[in-house]
Amino acid sequence: MGGGGVSAGWPRDTSPDEILRRAVSEEQIASYETELNVYLQDILADFNNRNVDQVNVHLETIKDALNKEDIGSISILYGGSIKKHTYVDGLSDVDILAIIDKSALVDAPPSRVLEYFADRLQERLPNTDIKIGTLAVTLTFSDGHEIQVLPAITTKAGIRIASADENNWSNVIRPEKFAQKLTSVNTSNNSGVVPVIKLYKAINAQLPKDVRLSGYHIESLAIDAFKNYKGTTSRKAMLLHLSQFASEAVLEPIKDSTGQSIHVDDKLSAPQSFERQKVSASIKRVVARMKLADSEASIQRWKELFGE
């Protein structure tokens, strides 16, 4: 049995003072990690407990308004974050497809369908802010929820939505394909990807508007970030990994697997564009703040990332 009084696991030349200092430090780190995990879980619990029922009320109201007149058949398909289980209340992240089938509107151009939808919705919701975009009608409710309604038509080939660059219908889209990919990568990572997407969306919402990513873009980045992930599945480790991955990945376009457009992030323009560089720099600052919070074992610095 060795003498000298040095505990197993420490180098023999380690002084008692150094052993005590390291032990205290390790105890502090363990306490910090536990407290941070509880904090992140509390954030997720808050997201999950928010008024999703109210969102469902809005969705039903939209459906009723669009089916108010006998124009044929309009069915609702939840193609956004509610279907993918990544919805975070208040982060403008809910999309639905309103599919027109066997209706006079099937032969109308997208602009006419968008106008029709906006008129019907405004009649039903006179005090709601409703705007017509290139692809969708966006409703902003008084409680802060923002829901985009994308008209779609059913053809023999499949579902089509409005084209982004002309007043015509797009190629066939496959919204279920994306949800399946996200479900698969989430399952392969101990069901940790969806919670981390929610956490990242909350941080993203605190950034200046011109460098925020869309919910769809974040989800696409997460699929790529975790499809071959071998690291720890702690919330903090996965959140840092997603942020680091995103800071570089945003510099290049991501192919849109649903067929809605050529790329998920067309609005950021060409590879390595100024817009992409700006977004990348913003995410790198987020990563630096995470690492600083970790180096200082500071829960408060983490809270600041989430706007607290």
How confident is the model over 244-264, as pLDDT tens digits?
999 999 999 887 655 555 445
The pLDDT assigned to 93 comes to: 55
Judged by DSSP in three states, 80 sits in coil
Q: What percent of the chain has pLDDT over 90?
A: 34
The pLDDT assigned to 195 comes to: 92
> Are 215 and 301 found together in one domain?
yes
> Are 206 and 271 found together in one domain?
yes
Residue at token pair 């990348």:
280
The answer as to whether 19 is a domain residue is no
The answer as to whether 108 is a domain residue is yes
* Rounded CA separation 179/219 (Å): 10
pLDDT band at 49 (very low <50, low <70, confident <90, very high): low
The pLDDT assigned to 90 comes to: 45
The answer as to whether 13 is a domain residue is no
Judge whether residue 300 has pLDDT over 90: yes
Judge whether residue 68 has pLDDT over 60: yes
> Are 200 and 298 found together in one domain?
yes
pLDDT band at 4 (very low <50, low <70, confident <90, very high): very low
Residue 111 backbone dihedrals phi, psi, to 5 degrees: -60, -40
> Are 67 and 206 found together in one domain?
no
287: CB partners within 8 A, 6+ apart: 240, 243, 244, 247
Closest CA to 37 of 196, 266, 169: 196
Select from 143, 173, 203 the last residue of a domain: 173
Task: Please tell me whether the overall predicted TM-score, pTM, comes out greater than 0.85 for this model.
Answer: no
The answer as to whether 12 is a domain residue is no
Select from 142, 173, 204 the last residue of a domain: 173
pLDDT band at 205 (very low <50, low <70, confident <90, very high): confident
148: CB partners within 8 A, 6+ apart: 80, 94, 95, 96, 133, 136, 137, 138, 139
Q: Residue 287 — left, alpha, or beta (φ > 0 → left; ψ -120 to 50 → alpha)?
A: alpha
> Are 153 and 184 found together in one domain?
no
Closest CA to 19 of 33, 31, 5: 5
In the predicted model, what is the mean pLDDT of residues 232-243?
A: 95
The pLDDT assigned to 288 comes to: 95
The pLDDT assigned to 23 comes to: 54
The answer as to whether 14 is a domain residue is no
The answer as to whether 261 is a domain residue is yes
Judge whether residue 29 has pLDDT over 60: yes
The pLDDT assigned to 170 comes to: 73
Domain total of the chain: 2
The pLDDT assigned to 13 comes to: 61
> Are 156 and 56 found together in one domain?
yes
133: CB partners within 8 A, 6+ apart: 114, 148
Judge whether residue 165 has pLDDT over 90: no
Which residue type does 159 have?
A: I
129: CB partners within 8 A, 6+ apart: 139, 140
Q: What is the pLDDT of residues 86-133, one digit of tens each?
A: 555 444 455 677 888 756 677 788 898 899 889 989 998 999 999 998
Closest CA to 147 of 59, 57, 47: 59
> Are 199 and 284 found together in one domain?
yes
The pLDDT assigned to 18 comes to: 62
The pLDDT assigned to 81 comes to: 58
Of the ranges 81-90, 191-200, 255-264, the best mean pLDDT one: 191-200
The answer as to whether 152 is a domain residue is yes
In the predicted model, what is the mean pLDDT of residues 48-64?
A: 77
The pLDDT assigned to 1 comes to: 39
74 burial type by CB count under 10 A (0-12 exposed, 13-18 middle, 19+ buried): buried
Structural domain including 191 reads 28-49+177-305
In the predicted model, what is the mean pLDDT of residues 33-58?
A: 83
In the predicted model, what is the mean pLDDT of residues 6-15?
A: 52
The pLDDT assigned to 94 comes to: 54
> Are 39 and 187 found together in one domain?
yes
> Are 41 and 56 found together in one domain?
no
Q: Give the rounded distance of the alpha carbon of 132 from its chain centre.
A: 23
In the predicted model, what is the mean pLDDT of residues 221-247?
A: 95
Greater confidence (33 vs 28) lies with 33
